[in-house]
Amino acid sequence: MYSDKVMDHFQNPRNVGTMEDADGIGQMGNPVCGDMMTFYIKVKENRIADVKFQTFGCGAAIAVSSMVSEMALGKTIEEALKITNESVAEELGGLPKNKLHCSNLGADALHKAIEDYQEKRKAKESSETVPEKKEEGENDSCSCPYCEGPIEGLESSCQSCHIEFEDCPECHKPMNKKADDCPHCGATKPRV
Amino acid sequence: MRRIYLDHIAGTPLHEDVVEAMLPYLEEKFGNPQSLHSAGQEALEAIEGAREKVARLINAESSEIFYTSSGSEANNLALKGFALALRNKGKHIVLSSIEHQSILNSAKFLEKLGFTFSHIPVDKYGMVDPEDVQKAISKETILVSIMLANGEVGTIEPLAEIAEICRNREVLLHTDAVDAVGNMPVDVKILGVDALSLAGNQFYGPKGSAALFIKKGRRILPFIDGGIQEGGRRAGTEDVPAIVGLGKAAELALQNMDPRKEKMETLRDTLIKRLLVSIEHTVLTGHPEKRLPHHASFCVEFVEGESMLLNLDMQGIACSSGSSCTSRALKASHVLLAMGIDHALAQSSLVFSMIDSNAPEDIDYLLEVFPPIIERLRKMSPIYTQYLEEKKK
- For residues B385 and A56, the answer to whether their CB atoms sit within 8 Å is no
Q: pLDDT at residue A125 above 90?
A: no
Closest by Cβ to A54, choosing from B304, B328, B385: B385
Beta bridge partners of A175: A166
- Asked if A54 lies within 8 A of B331 by C-beta distance, the reply is no
A97/B contact by beta carbon, under 8 A: no
- Asked if B382 lies within 8 A of A36 by C-beta distance, the reply is yes
Which value does ipTM take for this structure?
Answer: 0.84
- Asked if A31 lies within 8 A of B347 by C-beta distance, the reply is yes
A35/B contact by beta carbon, under 8 A: yes
Q: Tell me if residue B382 falls in helix, strand or coil.
A: helix
Distance from CA of B76 to the nearest CA of A (A): 22
Give the Cα separation of B356 and A51 in Å (integer).
49
What band does B326 get if pLDDT is binned at 50, 70 and 90? Answer: very low
Q: Which fold has domain B4-11+257-392?
A: Aspartate Aminotransferase, domain 1 (3.90.1150)
Give the Cα separation of B344 and B342 in Å (integer).
6
CA B378, B379, B380, B384 torsion: positive or negative? positive
Give the Cα separation of B188 and B366 in Å (integer).
37
Residue (of B279, B244, B251, B264) closest to B350 by Cα position: B279
Chain B 250-309, residues with CB within 8 Å of chain A CB atoms: 302-307
**Domain A4-125 indexed as CATH 3.90.1010.10:** yes
Instruction: Over range B296-303, report the average pLDDT.
Output: 96
A14, A58, A105: best mutation site toward chain B, by most B Cβ within 10 Å?
A: A58
**Ranges in chain B annotated CATH 3.40.640.10:** 16-255
Residue B74, H or E segment: helix B71-85
Q: What does the mean pLDDT of chain B come to?
A: 95
- For residues A182 and A174, the answer to whether their CB atoms sit within 8 Å is no
Instruction: Quote the pLDDT of residue A164.
Output: 75
**Ranges in chain B annotated CATH 3.90.1150.10:** 4-11+257-392
Q: pLDDT at residue A167 above 90?
A: no
Q: Which fold has domain B16-255?
A: Aspartate Aminotransferase; domain 2 (3.40.640)
Q: pLDDT at residue A177 above 80?
A: no
Of the listed ranges A80-89, A110-119, B49-58, B289-298, the least confidently predicted one is A80-89
- Asked if A34 lies within 8 A of B379 by C-beta distance, the reply is no
Domain boundaries, chain A: 4-125, 140-192
Give the Cα separation of A33 and A152 in Å (integer).
6
Q: pLDDT at residue A192 above 50?
A: no
Instruction: Quote the pLDDT of residue A126.
Output: 79
- CB A130: neighbour CB atoms within 10 A? 11
User: Number of C-alpha atoms within 13 angstroms, CB side, residue A161?
Assistant: 14
Q: Can you list the positions of beta strands (E) in B36-132?
A: 65-68, 92-96, 116-120
The strand pair at B317-318 and B4-5 is best described as parallel
> For residue B108, which amino acid is it?
K
Residue A185 bears catalytic tag? no
- CB within 8 A of A123, min separation 6: which ones? A129, A130, A131
pTM of the model: 0.86
Of the listed ranges A37-51, A133-147, B51-65, B88-102, the least confidently predicted one is A133-147
Give the Cα separation of B78 and B386 in Å (integer).
48
CA A108, A112, A113, A114 torsion: positive or negative? positive
Instruction: Quote the pLDDT of residue A170.
Output: 61
The strand pair at B282-284 and B295-300 is best described as antiparallel
In angstroms, the first-to-last Cα distance of chain B is 44
